[in-house]
Amino acid sequence: MWCSVTATCASDVPVKQRIGVLGGTFDPVHFGHLRSAIEVHEALALDELRLLPSARPPHRGQPGCSAEQRLQMVRLAIQGASGLQVDDRELRRETPSWTVDTLHSLREELGQQPAIFLVLGWDAFCGLPGWSRWEQLLELANLVVLQRPDCDLDLPEVLKDLLAARTTEAAVADASHGQIICLAQTPLAISATRIRELLGSGRSVRYLLPDAILDYINQHGLYRP
Ligand code: ATP
């Protein structure tokens, strides 16, 4: 099911603009997010991949620091990373951060022509049936599902059917929306939950996230008990 990022992918079919979107709480951003972002960008020959922090994540408790701080950490993390950008549209909105609304907003900005690739880790993909108006997501974007070595959730039946019907090889994924691509990337068992736990118990998180983020966390006294 998983297609490898080492395969020659869609670089020979640059028919339309190709935009990736990796949404998340980024509480804080870590190498699991960043390495995945780079590998998806390359595997799908994207023009850009946007990291899109959620302001008010509807499916989880209050983040460990403010939306502005999470946004600032994402900005710091991608400095100098070619092809990666930050999209702060969810922080500019007053309403909850429903992904379907975010994709509508992206379509308003980009139009119908570009291929949009919504990137989800396996855990997020398994939780999709709990998302608001989730069936509409494939009318607005393609889905890119990433392996997560730290997650062994079972796929709900409804998603098994969806995968069977919509899965496409990365090398031929050129629709503007409606396709699902399962990508194997460098497996990194890093989670923000674990990073917050380590910081909360006074332990080191060095080498789990960029030094610039660690400096920011220390300067602002984030995630401490
Ligand atoms: P938390 O532990 O607080 O739930 P997280 O580490 O899962 O956070 P999120 O900001 O919730 O990070 O994740 C944003 C997106 O990145 C999600 O789709 C998630 O599945 C994916 N993701 C996060 N960490 C990894 C990883 N190590 N490998 C692959 N995908 C990841």
Rounded Cα–Cα distance for residues 109 and 98 (Å) = 17
- List ligand 1's pocket residues with C-beta within 6 A: 24-27, 32-33, 36, 120-121, 123-124, 146, 148, 188, 190-193
| C-alpha closest to that of 171 among 181, 186, 156 | 181
Strand pairing category for 115-121 and 84-86: unpaired
Domains belonging to the chain, first-starting first, are 18-187 (3.40.50.620)
pLDDT tens, residue by residue, 37-92? 999 999 999 999 999 999 876 666 777 799 999 999 999 999 999 999 999 999 99
**Helices assigned H by DSSP within the chain:** 31-43, 67-78, 99-110, 122-126, 137-140, 157-166, 192-200, 211-220
Q: Of the residues 2, 5, 21, 25, which should be mutated to test ligand 1's pocket, given the most ligand atoms within 8 Å of the CB?
A: 25
Give tens-digit pLDDT for 113-158.
Answer: 999 999 999 999 999 999 999 999 999 999 999 999 888 888 999 9
Q: What is the pTM of this model?
A: 0.92
In this prediction, the answer to ipTM > 0.95 reads: yes
User: In this structure, which residue's CA is closest to atom 30 in ligand 1?
Assistant: 121
Å from CA of 121 to ligand 1 middle? 6
